[in-house]
Amino acid sequence: MSNATNHTLQRIIQDLLTYIRTSPLPFDDGNADSVLELLYNAYANAQGADPDEIKAKFATVEDCLTGISFEMNNLIFATVCDLCLAFEKKGFMDGIRLGSHLMLELQD
């Protein structure tokens, strides 16, 4: 590759990076701190109904909560749901990060 071609490519790359860094994302709803988090939010919003396995696990949790007060039941159930969502989000984001590192490794 000639010096002029290399210089032109470097300028194009730099211009593209500048554009990306200075242009707001058109789908940013303010509920994310990073593109990775936006990607997770899009994934989570695109999910349909829970699979049967997850429905069965929630039914088991509900069965375990019978006999306690409504308020305590709601508190425990909400906490379990928050925990599940946190693990889902962490797993998703870690998977994307791992995939990104794999892509870099495969380029070498």
Residue at 87: amino acid letter: F
- Residue spans of the domains in the chain: they are 28-107
pLDDT of residue 66: 92
pLDDT of residue 28: 63
In tens, the pLDDT along 7-59 reads 888 899 888 888 878 877 666 667 777 878 888 888 887 777 778 898 899 89
What are the C-alpha distances in Å from 60 to residues 27, 51, 53, 57, 63? Answer: 37, 15, 11, 5, 5
pLDDT of residue 79: 95
Q: What's the pLDDT band for 75 if we cut at 50, 70, 90? A: very high
- Distance CA(25)–CA(38), nearest Å, equals 10
Instruction: Check: pTM over 0.85? Answer yes or no.
Output: no
